[in-house]
Protein backbone atom coordinates (compact mmCIF):
# COMPACT_ATOMS: atom_id res chain seq x y z
CA UNK A 1 0.00 0.00 0.00
CA UNK A 2 1.42 3.40 -0.97
CA UNK A 3 1.87 6.06 1.71
CA UNK A 4 -0.59 8.42 0.03
CA UNK A 5 -3.35 5.81 0.09
CA UNK A 6 -3.05 4.99 3.78
CA UNK A 7 -6.14 5.90 5.76
CA UNK A 8 -5.82 7.35 9.26
CA UNK A 9 -8.27 7.19 12.11
CA UNK A 10 -7.99 10.24 14.38
CA UNK A 11 -9.26 10.67 17.93
CA UNK A 12 -11.11 14.00 18.02
CA UNK A 13 -12.89 15.14 21.19
CA UNK A 14 -12.40 11.70 22.64
CA UNK A 15 -13.98 9.85 19.71
CA UNK A 16 -12.29 8.08 16.77
CA UNK A 17 -13.16 9.72 13.46
CA UNK A 18 -12.21 9.08 9.88
CA UNK A 19 -10.76 7.52 7.91
CA UNK A 20 -8.72 10.38 6.47
CA UNK A 21 -6.11 10.48 3.74
CA UNK A 22 -2.72 11.90 4.67
CA UNK A 23 -3.31 15.25 2.96
CA UNK A 24 -6.69 15.60 4.67
CA UNK A 25 -4.96 15.65 8.03
CA UNK A 26 -3.71 19.16 7.28
CA UNK A 27 -7.21 20.54 7.69
CA UNK A 28 -7.65 18.98 11.14
CA UNK A 29 -6.43 20.54 14.35
CA UNK A 30 -3.90 17.82 15.02
CA UNK A 31 -1.41 18.34 17.83
CA UNK A 32 1.67 16.35 18.73
CA UNK A 33 -0.31 14.38 21.31
CA UNK A 34 -3.34 13.61 19.12
CA UNK A 35 -3.97 9.87 18.95
CA UNK A 36 -3.92 8.40 15.44
CA UNK A 37 -4.05 4.86 14.09
CA UNK A 38 -3.37 3.18 10.77
CA UNK A 39 -5.30 0.06 9.66
CA UNK A 40 -2.34 -2.25 10.34
CA UNK A 41 -1.81 -0.98 13.91
CA UNK A 42 -3.11 -2.71 17.03
CA UNK A 43 -3.33 0.50 19.04
CA UNK A 44 -3.19 4.27 18.68
CA UNK A 45 0.00 6.29 18.70
CA UNK A 46 0.55 9.99 19.13
CA UNK A 47 0.91 12.12 16.01
CA UNK A 48 4.56 12.98 16.62
CA UNK A 49 5.44 9.27 16.48
CA UNK A 50 4.61 9.04 12.76
CA UNK A 51 7.53 10.11 10.51
CA UNK A 52 5.19 11.17 7.72
CA UNK A 53 3.15 13.37 10.09
CA UNK A 54 6.29 14.96 11.47
CA UNK A 55 7.20 15.89 7.91
CA UNK A 56 3.68 16.97 6.98
CA UNK A 57 2.84 18.99 10.08
CA UNK A 58 6.30 20.06 11.23
CA UNK A 59 6.27 18.11 14.49
CA UNK A 60 9.36 16.93 16.30
CA UNK A 61 9.62 13.53 17.90
CA UNK A 62 9.03 13.57 21.66
CA UNK A 63 10.24 10.81 23.97
CA UNK A 64 8.20 11.98 26.92
CA UNK A 65 4.50 12.02 26.16
CA UNK A 66 2.44 13.12 29.23
CA UNK A 67 0.80 9.75 29.81
CA UNK A 68 4.26 8.21 30.22
CA UNK A 69 5.32 10.18 33.29
CA UNK A 70 5.95 8.11 36.41
CA UNK A 71 3.37 8.60 39.14
CA UNK A 72 4.14 9.63 42.71
CA UNK A 73 3.43 6.17 44.12
CA UNK A 74 5.80 4.55 41.61
CA UNK A 75 8.56 6.96 42.58
CA UNK A 76 7.91 6.45 46.28
CA UNK A 77 8.05 2.67 45.90
CA UNK A 78 11.27 2.91 43.88
CA UNK A 79 12.86 4.98 46.63
CA UNK A 80 11.72 2.48 49.27
CA UNK A 81 13.29 -0.36 47.28
CA UNK A 82 16.56 1.56 47.02
CA UNK A 83 16.63 2.19 50.77
CA UNK A 84 15.84 -1.49 51.39
CA UNK A 85 18.84 -2.66 49.39
CA UNK A 86 21.13 -0.04 50.92
CA UNK A 87 19.98 -0.97 54.42
CA UNK A 88 20.66 -4.66 53.71
CA UNK A 89 24.12 -3.69 52.52
CA UNK A 90 24.69 -1.66 55.67
CA UNK A 91 23.59 -4.54 57.92
CA UNK A 92 25.96 -6.91 56.14
CA UNK A 93 28.76 -4.40 56.65
CA UNK A 94 27.93 -4.13 60.35
CA UNK A 95 28.01 -7.91 60.73
CA UNK A 96 31.41 -7.93 59.07
CA UNK A 97 32.66 -5.30 61.53
CA UNK A 98 31.34 -7.38 64.42
CA UNK A 99 33.97 -9.99 63.59
CA UNK A 100 36.62 -7.54 64.75
CA UNK A 101 34.71 -6.05 67.71
CA UNK A 102 33.76 -8.18 70.70
CA UNK A 103 32.76 -5.56 73.27
CA UNK A 104 28.94 -5.12 73.33
CA UNK A 105 28.92 -1.33 73.86
CA UNK A 106 31.27 -0.74 70.95
CA UNK A 107 29.10 -2.91 68.72
CA UNK A 108 26.05 -0.81 69.59
CA UNK A 109 27.94 2.41 68.91
CA UNK A 110 29.14 1.14 65.55
CA UNK A 111 25.67 -0.13 64.60
CA UNK A 112 23.86 3.12 65.42
CA UNK A 113 26.65 5.50 64.47
CA UNK A 114 26.65 4.44 60.85
CA UNK A 115 22.91 4.87 60.25
CA UNK A 116 23.29 8.53 59.11
CA UNK A 117 25.57 7.24 56.36
CA UNK A 118 22.65 5.49 54.63
CA UNK A 119 21.04 8.71 53.26
CA UNK A 120 24.50 9.88 52.17
CA UNK A 121 25.05 6.59 50.37
CA UNK A 122 21.60 6.95 48.80
CA UNK A 123 22.49 10.45 47.55
CA UNK A 124 25.74 9.30 45.97
CA UNK A 125 24.32 6.10 44.54
CA UNK A 126 21.19 7.76 43.11
CA UNK A 127 23.25 10.46 41.41
CA UNK A 128 25.63 7.97 39.82
CA UNK A 129 22.83 5.58 38.78
CA UNK A 130 20.56 8.27 37.30
CA UNK A 131 23.45 9.67 35.27
CA UNK A 132 24.43 6.21 34.05
CA UNK A 133 23.38 4.55 30.80
CA UNK A 134 20.42 2.93 32.56
CA UNK A 135 19.29 6.34 33.93
CA UNK A 136 17.83 4.59 36.95
CA UNK A 137 18.54 3.15 40.38
CA UNK A 138 17.71 -0.45 41.32
CA UNK A 139 14.24 0.56 42.45
CA UNK A 140 13.49 2.60 39.36
CA UNK A 141 14.78 -0.15 37.09
CA UNK A 142 12.49 -2.72 38.74
CA UNK A 143 9.51 -0.43 38.08
CA UNK A 144 10.65 0.45 34.55
CA UNK A 145 11.01 4.16 35.28
CA UNK A 146 14.01 6.40 34.72
CA UNK A 147 15.24 9.98 35.06
CA UNK A 148 15.65 12.11 31.93
CA UNK A 149 16.07 15.69 30.86
CA UNK A 150 13.07 17.57 29.45
CA UNK A 151 13.56 15.89 26.08
CA UNK A 152 13.74 12.36 27.43
CA UNK A 153 17.52 12.12 27.17
CA UNK A 154 20.19 10.97 29.62
CA UNK A 155 21.24 13.56 32.20
CA UNK A 156 24.79 14.43 33.21
CA UNK A 157 26.33 13.61 36.58
CA UNK A 158 26.28 17.31 37.50
CA UNK A 159 22.54 17.52 36.84
CA UNK A 160 21.96 14.29 38.78
CA UNK A 161 23.91 15.63 41.78
CA UNK A 162 21.98 18.90 41.68
CA UNK A 163 18.66 17.09 41.38
CA UNK A 164 19.30 14.86 44.37
CA UNK A 165 20.66 17.75 46.44
CA UNK A 166 17.51 19.73 45.62
CA UNK A 167 15.38 17.02 47.23
CA UNK A 168 16.07 18.83 50.50
CA UNK A 169 13.88 21.63 49.15
CA UNK A 170 11.13 19.18 48.19
CA UNK A 171 10.93 17.89 51.77
CA UNK A 172 10.13 21.28 53.32
CA UNK A 173 7.66 22.25 54.44
CA UNK A 174 5.69 19.04 55.02
CA UNK A 175 7.06 17.38 51.86
CA UNK A 176 5.07 19.85 49.74
CA UNK A 177 7.70 19.70 47.01
CA UNK A 178 6.91 16.03 46.53
CA UNK A 179 3.15 16.46 46.83
CA UNK A 180 3.33 19.19 44.19
CA UNK A 181 3.70 16.41 41.60
CA UNK A 182 -0.06 15.84 41.96
CA UNK A 183 -0.65 19.39 40.71
CA UNK A 184 1.89 19.26 37.90
CA UNK A 185 0.93 17.89 34.46
CA UNK A 186 4.39 16.39 34.05
CA UNK A 187 4.28 15.05 37.61
CA UNK A 188 7.45 16.92 38.52
CA UNK A 189 8.47 17.49 42.12
CA UNK A 190 10.27 20.69 43.10
CA UNK A 191 13.69 19.07 42.65
CA UNK A 192 12.71 17.99 39.14
CA UNK A 193 11.69 21.52 38.25
CA UNK A 194 14.92 22.93 39.66
CA UNK A 195 17.04 20.46 37.70
CA UNK A 196 14.81 20.48 34.59
CA UNK A 197 14.33 16.74 34.76
CA UNK A 198 11.49 14.26 34.33
CA UNK A 199 10.82 10.78 35.64
CA UNK A 200 9.24 8.72 32.89
CA UNK A 201 7.93 5.16 32.60
CA UNK A 202 7.86 2.64 29.80
CA UNK A 203 5.00 2.76 27.36
CA UNK A 204 2.06 0.47 27.95
CA UNK A 205 1.42 -0.12 24.25
Same domain, 110 and 50: no
Reply yes or no on whether the pLDDT at 165 is more than 60: yes
What integer pLDDT is reported at residue 66 of this predicted model? 54
Same domain, 93 and 10: no
Reply yes or no on whether the pLDDT at 159 is more than 90: yes
Question: How many domains is the chain built from?
Answer: 2
What integer pLDDT is reported at residue 2 of this predicted model? 46
Same domain, 51 and 132: no
Using N-to-C axis directions, what is the helix angle for 72-98 and 104-113, rounded to 10°?
Answer: 150
Same domain, 77 and 153: yes
Same domain, 104 and 190: yes
Helix, strand, coil in percent for the chain, rounding step 5:
50, 15, 35
Same domain, 122 and 40: no
Average pLDDT for 159-182: 93
Same domain, 184 and 169: yes
Same domain, 96 and 192: yes
Same domain, 187 and 88: yes
Helices (H), 31-156: 51-57, 72-98, 104-113, 117-130, 138-142
Q: What is the mean pLDDT of the chain?
A: 89
Domain that includes residue 50, residue range: 3-62
What integer pLDDT is reported at residue 64 of this predicted model? 59
Reply yes or no on whether the pLDDT at 15 is more than 90: no
Reply yes or no on whether the pLDDT at 3 is more than 70: no
Q: How many CA atoms lie within 13 A of 113 on its CB side?
A: 8
C-alpha distances in Å from residue 58, one per residue of 48, 64, 78, 132:
9, 18, 37, 32
Q: Are residues 10 and 20 in contact, defined by beta-carbon separation less than 8 angstroms? A: yes
Same domain, 7 and 57: yes
Amino acid sequence: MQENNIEYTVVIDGKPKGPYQLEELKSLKIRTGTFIRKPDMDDYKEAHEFPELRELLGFTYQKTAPQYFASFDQRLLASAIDYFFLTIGYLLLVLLVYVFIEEKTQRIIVSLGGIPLIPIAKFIYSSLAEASEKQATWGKSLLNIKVTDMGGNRITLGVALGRNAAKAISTAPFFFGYLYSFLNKKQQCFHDMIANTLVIKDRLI
